[in-house]
Amino acid sequence: MLATPTTLIALLRTVALGWSQAQVAERAQEIHELGRDLHARLGVMGSHLDKLGRSLRGSVEAYNSTVGSLESRVLVTARNLEDLGAGDGEITAPEPVLVEPRALTADELRQTG
């Protein structure tokens, strides 16, 4: 097939445009797959955060129960021993826990279910 320079340039531009569109479509497919993968991983991470939050809540409740028992039961007996002269030294008080976990503010993270 004979082609003039003008026809040949137009044909080459068409082929280049086709290749460019194929690359864009290929990249879009890769981005789509990465997006799906990221979304799935965010779901798994969300469940891990939920489990961690429940564990933290349980730890705080256990700490509070232990402090309550120390104050209401153990220290009473320690004071009685001290009053009888059997105490030796001071009882070191535990440091209070003042750090709280960061609250979730994003709508996607606050939804339940």
The rounded distance, in Å, linking the Cα atoms of 61 and 39 is: 33
User: What residues contact residue 63 under an 8 Å CB cut-off, 6+ apart?
Assistant: 97
40 with 56: CB under 8 angstroms?
no
- Report the number of secondary-structure helices (H) and strands (E) in the chain: 3, 0
Task: Calculate mean pLDDT across residues 14-26.
Answer: 91
pLDDT of residue 27: 94
Query: Which residue is it, tokens 């194929």?
Result: 22
Q: Which of 14-18, 35-39, 48-52, 98-102 has the lowest mean pLDDT?
A: 98-102
pLDDT of residue 112: 59
Higher pLDDT, 67 or 113: 67
pLDDT of residue 89: 75
What is the tens place of the pLDDT at every residue in 37-95?
999 999 999 899 989 999 999 999 999 999 999 989 988 888 888 888 887 778 887 88
Prediction pTM value = 0.60
